[in-house]
Amino acid sequence: MKKVLIGGIGNVLLGDDGVGPYVARLLAAHYEFEDGVEVADLGTPALDLIDQLTANDAVILIDSVNVHDGVADQGAILLYRKKDIMRLRPAVRMDPHSPALVDALLSAELFGVAPTDLLLVGINSDSYEPTCSLSQPVRESLEEAIAEVLNELDRLGVSYWHRAHPVESGIWWAETAMEPALIK
């Protein structure tokens, strides 16, 4: 049995930063997965992410990314693999609890507990004001983000099933229901 973590990262109180938890909860509401797959809203775990990465064969993370200057549109889906992230420099930390995907992955690798496969499904965004709503471009990209997660499960040979009757998504923070017309 393959151990797979699908984890949404981000702060649900800060606008588009909440897209990771949003996607994770939509996935759990609309799909069932084979044994060994865990879908989790990880919030903003900083270095505690090491604990989450540990003891998994594969990890799929969903997070907002921030690419400016005409490189990618708002709402564009950008994919990063383990080797892309491992190439980046970790932070010199003033505040030890700042975002820490790079640090967590490099530490997990040092400790010998990092997953073999890691994919980050990034949703490009730059609206991080205190609000519980997603911006329009990010809302429109939810389905594509979900499709990328499912593609990765296909690639890993992990089974999943679309629920005929979705369960409650548990997106308690949203002002209004914003679920896209899910899903093939």
Residues that bind other proteins in the complex, under the rule CB under 8 A: 9-14, 17, 20, 41-48, 50-51, 54, 63-68, 78, 80, 84, 86-99, 101-103, 106-107, 109-113, 120, 122, 125, 128-132, 172-173
User: What is the distance between the alpha carbons of residues 146 and 60, in angstroms, rounded to a whole number?
Assistant: 11
Nearer to other proteins, 99 or 180 (CB): 99
Q: Provide, rounded to whole angstroms, the least separation between the CB of residue 78 and other proteins.
A: 7
Nearer to other proteins, 110 or 159 (CB): 110
- Rounded to a whole number of angstroms, the minimum distance from the CB of residue 184 to other proteins is 28
For 126-151, letters b (16+ CB in 10 Å) and e give ebbeeeebbbebbbebbbebbebbbe
Is-contact 63 9, C-beta < 8 A? yes
Nearer to other proteins, 70 or 157 (CB): 70
CB of 95 to other proteins, least distance (A): 4
Residues in the chain: 184
Structure tokens at 25: 């909860």
Least distance from other proteins to the Cβ atom of residue 30, Å: 20
Q: Looking at beta carbons only, is 121 or 150 nearer to other proteins?
A: 121
For residue 143, what are the CA distances in angstroms to 150, 181, 182?
A: 11, 8, 7
CB closer to other proteins out of 90 and 159? 90
Alpha-carbon gap, residue 85 to 106, rounded angstroms: 9
Closest separation in Å from C-beta 71 to other proteins: 10
Q: Phi/psi at 144 (nearest 5 deg)?
A: -65, -40
Task: List residues bridging with 160 in a β-sheet.
Answer: 33
